[in-house]
Structure 1
Amino acid sequence: MENRDKKLRAKKRVQALKSFYSHATVYLVINTFIVGMTAFMRMKEGVSLADSLFSFETFVTPFFWGIGLAFHAAKVFSWNPVFTKEWEKRQIEKFMEEDKREIGKY
């Protein structure tokens, strides 16, 4: 039974990785197209190539979508800089100490 659970967890992990890699691929393809088209359209309006490429308007979509992609990566690769194991340990010790004090009051 334990071996079956491990296999199921491994399959879920592989599916999460595939999902992330698909997301990253779509991100790269679509945003390359968007940046290229935005730069091209701005150049048609008379803006230089450098100005059209290094403009915030050109990178709005990749920027905000990139934030979402970063959160997806953090979830898939189990990266959490705030709630580390050390933080969990401190919180557990804190709550256990509070419980001891509460029990001691009665």
Structure 2
Amino acid sequence: MRTDHQEQKYIRVRKKIEKISKFYKHLSVYLAVNTFLSAIFIIGDIEAGDTFNEAFFNLGNYKIWFWWGIGIVFQAIGTFGLPMIFSKDWEDRKLQEYLKEEEKTRF
């Protein structure tokens, strides 16, 4: 039998899992749709007379990746928070990395 505290904890964890699941679904759609659209744009450019290299390296064919990607980044921050980027673990790893670097240059 669950207590009220356990029930509230379960609900919070369940909501977090749903939020993470939504993020990964959105990320999958982002990758699939943008890959498809970029392929369509590249094919269109080739049909319009561009070479494959010109079409493939035309940054205009990828601008949707950038703009939609901004939304993905904000959703990731909202889902996982900023610590996913600058966590204490990351700071400790960087500190150790720089300390080792200092030791190498010292001798």
When normalised by structure 1's length, the TM-score is 0.72
Q: Which residue in 2 is equivalent to 1:72?
A: 75
Counterpart CA distance in 2 for 1:2 and 1:66 is 38
Does residue 23 (structure 1) correspond to residue 26 (structure 2)? The answer is yes
Counterpart CA distance in 1 for 2:15 and 2:79 is 10
Does residue 9 (structure 1) correspond to residue 9 (structure 2)? The answer is no
Deviations along 1:57-90, one digit per CA (max 9) or x if unpaired, are: 1011111001100110111011169xxxxxxxxx
When normalised by structure 2's length, the TM-score is 0.72
Deviations along 1:15-54, one digit per CA (max 9) or x if unpaired, are: 1011001100100110000000000000011111121111
Q: Which residue in 1 is equivalent to 2:47?
A: 44
Aligned length: 82
What amino acid maps onto 2:7 in structure 1? Answer: R
Q: Which residue in 2 is equivalent to 1:57?
A: 60
Structure 1 segments unaligned to the other structure (5+ residues): 82-106
Counterpart CA distance in 2 for 1:66 and 1:5 is 34
Percent identity over paired residues: 27
> Post-superposition, which runs of at least 4 consecutive aligned residues in structure 1 deviate over 2 A?
none
Larger Rg: 1
The RMSD of aligned alpha carbons is 1.6
